[in-house]
Amino acid sequence: MDELVCNAYELLECFGLDERIAKYKGKRPLCLYQWDIETLYEVYYSILENDSYHDYVDKQSERYRVMRSLVDKLQLLYDEAFHE
């Protein structure tokens, strides 16, 4: 959850999604629309793959593994949401 919230500022142009993520405490399910899932996947995948701030250089670090897990989960949700 920390990586999700930590990078929420990257979602500034996403119609309030950045605020919902930044305020998220993990106590209840986070309700997402289909397009929210698409946006989250694309943005967090880009953060992990491009890593312009070098936050995820060490592929063995806990931070990288958490972010990779988040991206993988978002990809599964994305595939489910857009599977026709």
Domain borders along the chain are 2-82
Cβ atoms of 56 and 67 within 8 Å: the answer is yes
pLDDT value, residue 12:
62
pTM comes to 0.74
- Can you give the pLDDT at residue 72? 97
Calpha distance 62→9 (Å, rounded): 21
Q: For residue 60, what pLDDT is reported?
A: 95
Q: Is 1:27 a contact under the CB 8 Å cutoff?
A: no
Q: What is the pLDDT of residue 35?
A: 85
- The reported pLDDT for the residue numbered 73 is 94
What pLDDT, in 10s, does the model give residues 24-39? 888 888 888 888 888 8
Ranges under pLDDT 50 in the chain:
none
